[in-house]
Amino acid sequence: MLVALILFLGGAAVGLYSHVMFAFGLSGVVLALSLVAWVVRGELTLAGILVLFAHLAALQAGYLLGAYLRARRPIR
């Protein structure tokens, strides 16, 4: 849960200050690190895949919130 919270907050920061391609790359990094962890630990289970999807969903939800808040800012 703590990892999902960190990913959500990171996604919100990306949404506030960056563009969608950065969020796309960040999702790739999360996927790559998860695959490395699975190979090192030697376990690939359905539960691990579901946790990966939950982490990616938290990242994307944070990005959507950040992008929404950025779009609501008044233009200077």
pLDDT tens for residues 43-53? 888 988 999 99
pLDDT at position 38 over 80: yes
* Mean pLDDT to the nearest integer, 23-28: 91
By the 10 Å C-beta count (0-12 exposed, 13-18 middle, 19+ buried), 11 is classed as buried
- pLDDT band per the 50, 70, 90 thresholds, residue 73: confident
What is the number of H-type helices and E-type strands within the chain? Answer: 3, 0
pLDDT at position 75 over 80: no
By the 10 Å C-beta count (0-12 exposed, 13-18 middle, 19+ buried), 51 is classed as middle
Q: Please report, in angstroms and rounded to a whole number, the separation of the first and last CA atoms in the chain.
A: 38
List CB contacts of 13: < 8 A, sequence separation 6 or more: 62, 66
- pLDDT band per the 50, 70, 90 thresholds, residue 31: very high
For 40, 54, 71, 72, the CA distances from 5, given in Å and listed in that order, are 24, 11, 23, 23
Q: How much of the chain, in percent, has pLDDT values that exceed 90?
A: 64
Q: Give me the residue spans of the domains in the chain.
A: 2-72
